[in-house]
Structure 1
Amino acid sequence: MIAIIVPAHNEQDFISGCIESLIAAAAHPALDGEPVRIVIVMDACTDGTAQVVSSYPVQALSVDFHNVGKSRAAGADAMLSQGARWLAFTDADTLVPPSWLADQLDCATDAVCGTVKVDDWSLHPDPVRTRYDSLYTPVEGHRHIHGANLGVSAQSYLRVGGFKPLPAHEDVILVADLEASGATIKWTTKNCVTTSARIDCRCREGFGDYLRSLVVTPSLDIG
């Protein structure tokens, strides 16, 4: 079966849209009916995330890590124990397209690194979007890495030991480990996801912090 893993920390305002987009992707006809299991890894949630998640046909895993690397790894471990052959990762404030999983599998590689687009720039000064667009290259063969749009075969994931217990950049390190192991990786724009540009981001040094940094340090590279 195919597994989708979503880490979540106090995501009651976003998680419903995320899950609904995942359910739609799981029902894509190109998957030929292969089972898809979704697990929401709720890390130290103190809001209504659990109540929202409980209303959907997904699995919920509660942890108290305050660490996105550990959360992604815990979700992956749970799905691997249930027989997952492919692990797809996204974030709780992200919407995936209906063909998201089908596009990942269609790449026929060990891993797939996709792109992201921002849903709403209104919370940021106009120069932030301009600088972002000048630095981001959403083309085939790009080298961007996003935990919000990442897929990897179970075999390749296990070969490199999975996600490291890092509070940030766990996705970058995993892809580096995959490359070092000789895994084949597809860098594509085909399955682009839509993510939030909110200011109250959950992961320090993540995408939200990167956007804020563009106000004063536009020369930074996008992870």
Structure 2
Amino acid sequence: MSPGGWSVGVVVPARNETATIEACLASILAAPLPAGSDLWIVVVADGCDDDTAGRARRALGARGEVVVVATGNVGAARRVGARRALDHLDQTQGRPPERTWLLTTDADSTVPGAWIEAHLGHADAGAEGVAGTVAVASFSEHPTSVPDRFAAEYVLHPDGTHPHVHGANLGARADAYVAVGGWAPLRTGEDHDLWNRLRAGGAALVTTIEAPVTTSGRRTGRAPSGFAARLLELAPAPVAVEAPDLVGSWRAATTSTPSSHRETSTSRPSAAAPPPSGGPRSPPSLAVTSPWGGSPKPTPARARSWRRRADRRPLARPWACGRRSTPPTWCAPNAPDTASGSPGPRASAPVPASSTPPS
């Protein structure tokens, strides 16, 4: 370590983090500092409508400050916090930017005890930017397959390096940070943007698996397309289940006929032979081919209907029943026989004109 020590500024953006901000700040304050180094923490309460700012002030005491903004932009919030931290360290410590280290983490995260020392160890070795890793505190809000998929995707190289960049575990030397313009006001991806500009500016960058930061595995994050959104992408896609076509199945079942129930013949039964002359007339054959197969069977209901029709007799003429006083002129058979003086074959006794027809 350099005998002059380091000025260390830690920036924590927060939005409605009353449940986690105290644990986050407690872990930072508990991390030991190298001898001769100083620490200043800046919490940027961005658009909070809860007691995040109040809890942060009580937790920090005299070792930090809370800045209240309403940007709704994590990149802009980190930029405000970095500016306040640099100003405070410059005014109170007076160290040059080459001996000032800016760290950043998230309000839903906790840092390990060796976090600050691990970053400053690389800074003493000449690093101008350090990107660390994260570990998920809990996957309880995700499907059971997500932890394995996260472990398989989260690549860590055998030499202790990795390809990841997280705003929850990122540090840069003050002069390199200022040289590339600092944090950009991006709603998401601000950490990758700063890292890429440091690389493009020729800064000495280090990725390390030392001192990983533990972050929440919540499903709803504060930055769109941030770490929480990435965890959601690891969940298996829901399987589309097509609803059964109940109406179509019902129609098919009611309109189709199994092969065993189809008629074996479509020919109609032949008419019965006429009876001998003078013999009794019998009803025609009413046997039909059974739709269920087998030999033809009679149809009793149809036979009874035929008998009813055969037994019908002509109804008496209405004028023969007393409903009319005289038959119509066109009905000659019911007129009186003038030759014999007798009534016609179906005529009954004449009904007086004054009589009332029966009801």
Q: Give how far 1:106 is off.
A: 0.1
The DSSP-based 3-state class of the residue aligned with 2:195 is: helix
The DSSP-based 3-state class of the residue aligned with 1:138 is: coil
Q: Which residue of 1 is the match for residue 287 of structure 2?
A: none
Question: What TM-score does the superposition give when structure 1 sets the normalisation length?
Answer: 0.93
- In our comparison, the structure showing a higher alpha carbon Rg is 2
2:66 pairs with 1:51: no
2:191 pairs with 1:174: no
Ranges in structure 2 where 5+ consecutive residues have no aligned partner = 1-6, 91-96, 238-359
Larger deviation: 89-98 or 137-146? Answer: 137-146
Whether the aligned pair in 1 keeps the contact of 2:46 and 2:69 (CA below 8 Å) is: yes
Whether the aligned pair in 2 keeps the contact of 1:111 and 1:152 (CA below 8 Å) is: yes
2:45 pairs with 1:42: yes
Whether the aligned pair in 2 keeps the contact of 1:162 and 1:174 (CA below 8 Å) is: yes
Q: Which residue of 1 is the match for residue 145 of structure 2?
A: 127
Q: Which residue of 1 is the match for residue 116 of structure 2?
A: 101
Whether the aligned pair in 2 keeps the contact of 1:115 and 1:138 (CA below 8 Å) is: no
Matches within 5 A, 1:7-156: 7-25=13-31, 28-29=32-33, 31-56=34-59, 57=61, 58-82=64-88, 83=90, 85-108=100-123, 109-139=127-157, 140-156=160-176
1:200 alignment partner AA: T
Deviation track 1:104-135 (CA, whole Å, cap 9, x = no partner) reads: 01012101000000011111101111111110
Using the aligned pairs only, state the percent identity: 38
| Equivalences, count | 214
1:175 alignment partner AA: W
The DSSP-based 3-state class of the residue aligned with 1:126 is: coil
Q: Give how far 1:201 is off.
A: 1.3
Matches of 2:128 and 2:82, distance apart in 1: 16
Q: Give how far 1:34 is off.
A: 1.2
Q: Which residue of 2 is the match for residue 221 of structure 1?
A: none
Across the aligned residues of Structure 1 and Structure 2, the Cα RMSD in angstroms comes to 1.2
Matches of 2:156 and 2:15, distance apart in 1: 28
Question: What TM-score does the superposition give when structure 2 sets the normalisation length?
Answer: 0.58
Q: Give how far 1:81 is off.
A: 1.4
**1 or 2, which has the higher strand percentage?**
1
Q: Which residue of 1 is the match for residue 316 of structure 2?
A: none
Ranges in structure 1 where 5+ consecutive residues have no aligned partner = 218-223
Deviation track 1:17-53 (CA, whole Å, cap 9, x = no partner) reads: 000000011xx15x10411000100000101101211
